[in-house]
Amino acid sequence: MAADEDPVRTSCPTLTCGVPFWIPGHIWSQIRSRGKERVVFCPNGHEVVWSETNEDRLKRQLESVTRERDDARASSNRWYRTAIYWKGRAHRKAGA
């Protein structure tokens, strides 16, 4: 079996159900790529819809990592400027 054909174990997201079940790999791939356009039903008949596609998930992750990087840069710049300031003050006091 190819990796795309391996069944995927999931469970019904309904709070009162939660029954575990398997979804064929090719259907799982369609669900993850199409999101709301592809609906699956749990063995008890509840509608299971994934609202986030792979593309949406990757965009969200990229935005999160970009935000973390920008925050780290800003923090680093703040510490660098503080160190330069105090180094300059130490030199001025030593020479006075």
- Residues 38-54 have pLDDT tens digits of 778 888 888 887 777 77
Query: Using the 8-state DSSP alphabet, how is residue 30 labeled?
Result: H
Query: Apex CA 53: angle with CA 24 and CA 51, to 5°?
Result: 95
pLDDT at position 23: 86
Q: Domains of the chain: which residue ranges? A: 3-49, 53-96
The string of pLDDT tens digits covering residues 2-15 is 556 788 888 888 77
Examine the pLDDT at 30 and tell me if it is beyond 70.
yes
pLDDT at position 91: 66
pLDDT at position 69: 92
Global pTM? 0.44
Which of 12, 67, 75, 5 has its CA nearest to residue 44? 12
Examine the pLDDT at 62 and tell me if it is beyond 90.
yes
Which of 38, 45, 39 has its CA nearest to residue 19? 45
Distance CA 86, CA 81 (A): 9
Distance CA 38, CA 3 (A): 20
pLDDT at position 94: 58
